[in-house]
Structure 1
Amino acid sequence: MSYKVFVLYSHLHDRLFVGYTTSLTDYMITMNVMESDNPLYEFRPWTLIHMELFVAEEEALIRDGFLKQEIGQNYIRREVLPMFDFGS
């Protein structure tokens, strides 16, 4: 089983979301399509802007934690987000 650490971006709200899962497809459907009690649903549409694969859940948790910290968020905004053109 592989663990996916991912970063989603809501262009309309300029919000990042970092998480990890074993089923990114299901997660994306939950975030963008299915109405749910998830408070992040209101920020859709979410775009996948970054993903990393890990074999060990512990490694995925460490990376997930790093990307959720201010230094990780700054890295995403500085290095990853500029690779995308959201028509701004």
Structure 2
Amino acid sequence: MEEFVVYILYSQKFDKNYTGFTSNLIERFKSHNELGTKGHTLKFRPWGVIHVEFFSTKSEAMKREKYFKTGIGREFIKNLIYSK
């Protein structure tokens, strides 16, 4: 059974975060940091994974990713980053 991961990346160098979902976190992380040749995350490398959540369905993962992009979700991310 396929599992889906919602992940939050953080670029300390640029003080930027990125939220996404995937069914293969390792390959997706490599894409963000090394392999990708286009897209938003390219110019803010290097990225570190600061949060992951696992889901059994794609729709659950998409819903959670959408939540992290709301005002309340962004507050959650800000607290993750700045409470360390």
Normalising by structure 1, we get a TM-score of 0.86
Q: Percent identity?
A: 29
After the TM superposition, which parts of structure 1 deviate over 4 Å for at least 4 consecutive aligned residues? none
TM-score by length of 2: 0.90
CA distance in 2, matches of 1:26, 1:69: 26
Unpaired stretches in structure 2, ≥5 consecutive residues: none
2:5 and 2:36 mapped to 1: Cα distance?
Answer: 23
Residues 1:39 and 2:16 are matched in the alignment: no
1:64 and 2:65 are equivalent in the alignment: yes
CA distance in 2, matches of 1:19, 1:46: 13
Aligned to 1:14: 15
Moved more, 67-76 or 9-18: 67-76
Let me know the Cα RMSD of the aligned residues: 1.3
Give the total of aligned pairs.
83
Task: Tell me the CA shift for residue 32 of structure 1.
Answer: 0.7
Partner of residue 5, structure 2: 4
Once the two structures are superposed, the pairs formed by residues 73-88 of structure 1 within 5 Å of their partners are: 73-78=74-79, 80-82=80-82, 84=84
Which stretch has the larger CA shift, 4-13 or 66-75? Answer: 66-75
Aligned mates of 1:18, 1:39 — CA distance in 2: 11
